[in-house]
Amino acid sequence: MLTIAEITKNAKECHLCRLREGAKQVVPGEGNPEARLMLIGEGPGQEEDEKGLPFVGSAGQLLDKILLASGINKDEIYIANVVKCRPPRNRTPEADEIATCKPWLDLQIAAIRPDLIVCLGLTAARAVLEVNDSLQNLRGKWHTFGEIKVLCTYHPAALLRNPKLKVPTWSDFKMVMKEYGSTSPFERIE
Ligand code: SF4
């Protein structure tokens, strides 16, 4: 079994799909190797591509607020994406790109063995659960991936485009808080 450090090192050398050609670098993921909670997004954006870290752009800043509101310490969790290289113009990754990159995510999940996974957005939800359902149908309830409980919710980038989605996303994160054991004085995502 590879450690997260070994997976990260190996993934950074990956050129297995076309996404690497347009990306500045591979963005494997970041966080606590012993995380009980793992967040999984779609893929790196422009800022993530430049800095080599996941969720550091505007969507990442909103995610930080969601975590703060949820009483979840970012240092305790692990954050990764389904594809590790930035798709051109931030387009949705193609099915073959997801299939090629998914083994890196599977290795990360196997190494971390979190209790909980939160899929941020439809691409992550479908990739992790291996389903073809809509996010509306998948969100708001717990699924399982082996022994791991999986919850799907909206990607923070979707909340930036449509702030009304903050209400159902907060409802989903309240479910996460209950399982994770965190508490918060906040009533909503600001
Ligand atoms: S997206 Fe994934 S599979 Fe494709 S080159 Fe990057 S790390 Fe490798």
Sign of CA dihedral 81, 82, 84, 89: negative
Q: Which domain does 159 fall in, by range?
A: 4-180
**Structural domain contains residue 188:** no
**Structural domain contains residue 20:** yes
For a mutational test of ligand 1's pocket, the pick from 16, 18, 42, i.e. the residue with the most ligand atoms closer than 8 A to its C-beta, is 16
**Structural domain contains residue 91:** yes
Longest dimension (CA), the chain: 45
**Structural domain contains residue 56:** yes
Atom 3 of ligand 1, residue of closest alpha carbon: 101
Amino acid letter for position 21: E
**Structural domain contains residue 120:** yes
| CA–centroid distance, residue 39 to ligand 1 (Å) | 19
- pLDDT for 189: 72
**Structural domain contains residue 190:** no
Percent of the chain with pLDDT strictly greater than 70: 99
For a mutational test of ligand 1's pocket, the pick from 12, 100, 107, i.e. the residue with the most ligand atoms closer than 8 A to its C-beta, is 100
> Can you give the CATH number for the domain in which 77 is found?
3.40.470.10
**Structural domain contains residue 186:** no
Sign of CA dihedral 29, 16, 44, 81: negative
- What are the C-alpha distances in Å from 45 to residues 76, 106, 175, 184? 23, 21, 28, 29
- What are the C-alpha distances in Å from 52 to residues 47, 55, 79, 111? 8, 10, 13, 21
**Structural domain contains residue 163:** yes
| Tens digit of each residue's pLDDT (9 = 90 or more) over 72-126 | 999 999 999 999 999 999 999 999 999 999 999 999 999 999 999 999 999 999 9
Q: Is there a contact between 19 and 85 (Cβ–Cβ < 8 Å)?
A: yes
Structural domain count of the chain: 1
First CA to last CA distance, the chain: 41
